[in-house]
Amino acid sequence: MNNLCEFINTIDVLLDVKWDGSKISFKYNSSLDNYCSMMGDEKQEDCNNYEEMISSAFLTLLHHFKSVNAGDENLEDDKLAQYALLWLCYEINKNKNNEISNLNDFHNKYIKNIEKYIMKIPNLGAYNSYKGIIDKQQNSMPIGVKEMSKLYEALKILCDMYTECDKKKQNYINCLQDANDFAKHFEELNQDSSITGNNSYREILSSLLTNYNNFKSDCNKKCSKCSDIPTLTNIKAPQSFEHASSSSSIASTLIPVLLAFTIPFFLGVAYKYSLFGFDKRLQRQYIREKVKKIKKKMTNYV
pLDDT digits (tens, 9 = 90+) for 83-95: 989 999 999 998 8
Same domain, 205 and 243: no
Domain membership of residue 232 (yes or no) is no
The answer to whether position 233 is within a domain reads no
What pLDDT shows up at residue 120? Answer: 77
More confident residue, 248 or 185: 185
pLDDT at 246: 40
70-84, 203-217, 254-268 — which is least confidently predicted?
A: 254-268
**Domain limits at 118?**
2-226
> How far apart, in Å, do the first and last CA atoms of the chain sit?
46
Q: Do 50 and 91 lie in a common domain?
A: yes
Do 263 and 302 contact (CB within 8 A), yes or no? Answer: no
Averaged pLDDT of the chain: 77
Residue type, 11: I
Instruction: Answer yes or no: is pLDDT of 131 > 60.
Output: yes
Among the three residues 180, 198, 226, which one is the final residue of a domain in this structure? Answer: 226
Which of 191, 226, 261 terminates a domain? The answer is 226
Three-class SS of the chain? CHHHHHHHHHHHHHHCEEEECCEEEECCCCCCCCCHHHCCCCCCCCCCCHHHHHHHHHHHHHHHHCCCCCCCCCCCHHHHHHHHHHHHHHHHHHCCCCCCCEHHHHHHHHHHHHHHHHCCCCCCHHHHHHHHHHHHHCCCCCCEHHHHHHHHHHHHHHHHHHHHHHHHHHHCCCHHHHHHHHHHHHHHHHCCHHHHCCHHHHHHHHHHHHHHHHHHHHHHHHCHHHCCCCCCCCCCCCHHHHHHHHHHHHHHHHHHHHHHHHHHHHHHHHHHHHHCCCCHHHHHHHHHHHHHHHHHHHHHHC
Whether 9 is in a domain gets the answer yes
pLDDT, position 27: 75
What pLDDT score does 153 carry? Answer: 96
Q: Are residues 181 and 247 in the same domain?
A: no
Is the pTM for the entire model greater than 0.95?
no
Average pLDDT over residues 158-162: 94
Q: Are 90 and 171 contained in the same domain? A: yes
**Residue 24, Cβ neighbours under 10 Å: how many?**
16
CB 61 within 8 A of CB 123: no
What distance in Å separates the CA atoms of residue 83 and residue 237, rounded to the nearest whole number? Answer: 23
Please determine, for residue 276, whether its predicted confidence score (pLDDT) is greater than 60: no
Residue 37: inside a domain = yes
CB 137 within 8 A of CB 176: no
In DSSP terms, 25 is beta-bridged to 18
185 or 268, greater pLDDT = 185
Q: Which of 226, 256, 284 is the last residue of a domain?
A: 226
- Distance CA(38)–CA(281), nearest Å, equals 89
Q: Is the pLDDT of residue 266 over 50?
A: no
pLDDT digit string, tens, across residues 165-218: 988 888 899 999 999 999 999 999 999 999 999 988 999 999 999 999 999 988
